[in-house]
Amino acid sequence: MKNFLKITGILILIAGLVLGYGYFSYKTKLGHWNIKLTKANNEISWIKFEWGNDSLGNKYVERTTMLIPVKIEGIPKAVNFQFDLSSYMTMIYEKNLLSIYKANPEIKNNIKNPIEFWNRFAVIKNTSLTMGNYTIYNSNFFVWKNYGDVLSKKEIDSSASVHIGTIGADLFQQKILVIDYPNQQFTILDTLPSSIKTDFIDVKMEENGMAILPMKINGKTLDIGFDNGSSIFPIITPVKNEAKFSSNPITDTITISSWSKLHNVTGRMITDSFEIAGKKFCNVKVYSNYSGLGISKKLDGVTGNALFWNNTIIIDFKNKKFGFKK
């Protein structure tokens, strides 16, 4: 019996080491990007994004997603990626990609699974993406297996771009990200030019790369994650935290999808004004998330694009700072 327990313990230890090595390899080999500006000059090189619209329940809502037109080396089809800083990994959805393969079967030869027992993950080897004047290279481009939508032949054959994946926070680590909402553009910088002036505040960064903004309200400071994938909500919070923002009655209910899982959120007005990075906001609605999907338990809530539609924001991932363009 003692020998059996000893052998079992050794096997558990070996399995843990193997899984730990696999996870470490996955975290270090995937999500590492080489970013080059192909047409360097003295001016800022902007990357355009488009607003996606959608029906949520029985409501048609504009500006639900930020979509980035991207060219993928070896894939002739025009594609776009959702811009989502709550995703720690830039990724392609396998089902969308397989739909394109039907017209371009030779592409599939580049797909490999880096860790055989880690079935959710696969990669496209040595891939280059082009966004605006930026060329972005990854030796192991993450593919989320069994996820996404099957695209019809009509969609593949059309001249319109198709949605294929997500641009996540890993792309901007050690960089400065500037999002110009009014002009629907963003840029990736190593240093901030003199043409962009701001008063930075220090912020925390979640371990997966999301910026955590200090929100001052009712004499307290709350931790609010910045998630531009949560596009339509000025503030969204787990239901357990809603009293920190408002006790007003519910004014609307919206059905949303978080990574293909549907759930309801309810909105109510925040009575008091609040401040983020020296900028005051008022007449803002907070939404309560009853499922908890998409919000870290370490955060009081999350803010999305709707709060900043009229602003240009700067996130310095390298030095952990945030600011508004003056």
The per-residue pLDDT for range 138-196, each reduced to its tens digit, is 988 889 988 999 999 899 989 999 999 999 999 999 999 999 999 999 999 999 999 99
Q: Are strands 321-324 and 185-189 parallel, antiparallel or unpaired?
A: unpaired
Minimum mean pLDDT range among 53-57, 115-119, 250-254 = 115-119
What pTM was estimated for this model as a whole?
Answer: 0.87
The predicted pLDDT at position 256 comes to: 78
DSSP H or E run through 9: helix 2-29
What is the chain's percent helix, strand, coil content, to nearest 5? 20, 40, 40
Q: How many CB atoms lie within 10 A of CB 187?
A: 21
Quickly tell me which residue has 């963003």 as its tokens.
Answer: 186
User: For residues 201 and 100, which has the higher predicted lDDT (pLDDT)?
Assistant: 201
What are the residues whose beta carbons fall under 8 Å from the beta carbon of 267, sequence distance 6 or more? 250, 251, 252, 253, 254, 285, 286, 287, 288
User: For residues 292 and 151, which has the higher predicted lDDT (pLDDT)?
Assistant: 151
DSSP single-letter state for residue 151: P
Quickly tell me which residue has 């080059």 as its tokens.
Answer: 36
User: For residues 127 and 107, which has the higher predicted lDDT (pLDDT)?
Assistant: 127
> What domains are defined for the chain?
30-172 (2.40.70), 189-324 (2.40.70.10)
Any idea what the Cα angle at residue 289 is, between residues 285 and 294, rounded to 5°?
A: 110
Q: How many CB atoms lie within 10 A of CB 299?
A: 19
